[in-house]
Amino acid sequence: MVAIKVENVTKSFGQLDVLQGVSLTVGRGEVFTLLGENGAGKTTLINILTTLSRQNSGRVRILGLDPQKKGNAIRRQISLNAQEATVDGEFTGYQNLRLVAKLRGVKDVSTEIERVARQLNLTDFLKRKVLTYSGGMRRRLDLAMSLIGDPQIIFLDEPTTGVDPKNRLALWQIITEMRDDGKTVFLTTQMLEEADRLSDHIAFINNGQIVRYGTPQEMKQLAQEKFVLSVQTEQLAETKKVLQNAKITFTGTTELQIEQQDAKRVLLTLSKHTITVLHFNQAEKNLESVFLDVTAKEEK
């Protein structure tokens, strides 16, 4: 079952072509993560999917519905947790939740508030003004507001930005529970570890297009093979010079990352210069290397 279908969507702001033919499909009940550099167009796409903005061309379906024609029906079934927390500091947690519950037309408001407050561990704080909440508590309240009214798709735009590691782990747990509960979660994040841990599928957006798509495992397999070289500290400066002279590219400062195709040449060159190699191992593949590969290739 498909929750979100996007086909060839374009969006420009004046001369700026932000989305240049984006296509993607998100299945029901999955956590889907959109990754991309700052300004890549993630929020622009979320705004289109959540009926806040319209594409210039292309086709969008949310739960089979066209946002341009069935905006109200879609808004009843989705929620958006935008980058800035939308909670009102002068209200108590309970009042914030009640406001959203009323706006969403929830029938049994207090039962619904109890349900989401329990889910997000907020029950003890509901009577306090939000002004007195810590940042992490505000974020949890903000997430609780997204769960009111039992939406089928939850859009989370960088939900853990500015959240400390302990609360981040708690939010990750909540996102996993949302998925286990059958919800579809559309996530954007700058944190590659977050994408890796939570997602069923990941898409990279670059230059207005989806340039990679797959499971976290598949994405990591796409990373280029690299080798990590370490030499004695006193030979490090000389090693770098020797590699530069041999026109072998590397990254890193103490441990040097080398492209797979240069591996043999590195060992030959270093042995000619009697440089002692301490380690020369295959680098661990992670999402960061895919991200850097993608952006570097596009820049080239």
Ligand X SMILES: Nc1ncnc2c1ncn2[C@@H]1O[C@H](COP(=O)(O)OP(=O)(O)OP(=O)(O)O)[C@@H](O)[C@H]1O
Positions in the binding site for ligand X (CB under 6 A)? 13, 16, 18, 36, 38-44
Nearer to ligand X, 53 or 95 (CB): 53
State phi, psi for 165 to the nearest 5 degrees.
-55, -35
Smallest separation, CB 196 to ligand X (Å)? 18
Q: Which is nearer to ligand X, 40 or 85 (CB)?
A: 40
Least distance to ligand X, CB of residue 15, Å: 10
Length of the chain: 300
From the CB of 251, what's the least distance to ligand X, in Å? 24
**From the CB of 36, what's the least distance to ligand X, in Å?**
5
Q: Which is nearer to ligand X, 39 or 162 (CB)?
A: 39
Cβ proximity to ligand X, 39 vs 64, nearer residue? 39
- Nearest residue to 185 via CA among 205, 200, 207: 200
- Smallest distance from the beta carbon of 46 to ligand X, in angstroms? 8
- What pairs with residue 279 in β-bridges? 230
Side by side, the strands of the sheet bearing 2-13 are 16-27, 2-13, 57-62
Give the CA dihedral 149, 150, 152, 155, nearest 10 degrees.
70
Q: Is the CB of 42 or the CB of 138 nearer to ligand X?
A: 42
Q: Which is nearer to ligand X, 57 or 249 (CB)?
A: 57
Q: How far is the CB of 43 from ligand X (least distance, A)?
A: 3
**Separation of alpha carbons 146 and 164, rounded Å:** 20
Q: In what order do the strands lie in the sheet with 277-282?
A: 250-251, 256-259, 226-231, 277-282
Determine whether 274 is exposed, middle or buried from the number of CB atoms within 10 Å of its CB (0-12, 13-18, 19+): exposed
Cα dihedral across residues 47, 51, 57, 63: positive or negative: positive
CA 276 from chain centre, in angstroms, equals 41
Q: In angstroms, give the least distance from the CB of 160 to ligand X.
A: 13
